[in-house]
Structure 1
Amino acid sequence: MKTITICGSIEFAEEMKQIAWRLEIEKGFNVLQCIYNEKNEPITDEAQKRLVAAHYRKIDISDAVYIVDIDGYIGISVADEILYQKRMEKSLFFTANSLK
């Protein structure tokens, strides 16, 4: 069973949750996701740094990275994660279609 980390804009949180479900149920992947601040709690700079570090650690322990690219949108953070994935020589997958 391969472990993959999902990367994408938090704007697509609901889509990423559904993609994670499909990847585990249909493909048998072990999916690591970002966490979701569903109650919109304030995040300190220090907490944000910890969240970013945790996400990059998920990439470190994954076999691959799955980029959620809905309607061609990839933000700066996801672009940085793609560059990191390349440096770490992880496999890369994209959604590359609209899920809306």
Structure 2
Amino acid sequence: MVGKYKVITLCGSTKFKDAFMEAQKRLTLEGNIVISVGMFGHSGDDEVWTEGTKAMLDDMHKRKIDMADEIYVINVGGYIGESTKSEISYAQRTGKAVRFLEE
């Protein structure tokens, strides 16, 4: 499996931390380079946020999408929030493939 690796950026609500971690592990073992979120704001990491943190993280995640071949959406129970909708739209506009945990 050594060779060219697809780069996948995970997107989705950070309230699904366990699903993020499971997808990261599975996709990595399938031979992909996986880029994930830097923190889980909806899972307890939001206590370190200051004014402007969300805007910075949202912009940073778009740069992670820029580096990827595709995005993988963590949409547990079909849930897709506003930030994730924006990321999906951005990925589509920039020609990235979009896959979903749940169809």
TM score, norm. by length of structure 1? 0.87
| Structure 2, unpaired ranges of 5+ | none
After TM superposition, give the deviation of residue 45 of structure 1 in Å. Answer: 2.7
**Aligned-partner SS, 2:95:** coil
Structure 1 runs, 4 residues or longer, greater than 6 Å off = none
Counterpart in the other structure of 2:90: 84
Distance 2:20 2:36 in 1: 8
Out of 49, 57, 75, the residue aligned to residue 51 of structure 1 is 57
The RMSD of aligned alpha carbons is: 1.4
Q: Percent identity?
A: 33
For these two proteins, the number of residue pairs brought into alignment is: 96
Tell whether 2:32 aligns with 1:24: no
Give, as a single letter, the amino acid of the residue that structure 1 aligns with 2:34.
V
Distance 2:70 2:9 in 1: 7
| Structure 1, unpaired ranges of 5+ | none
Contact 1:16 1:68 in 2 (8 A): yes
Counterpart in the other structure of 1:3: 7
TM score, norm. by length of structure 2? 0.85
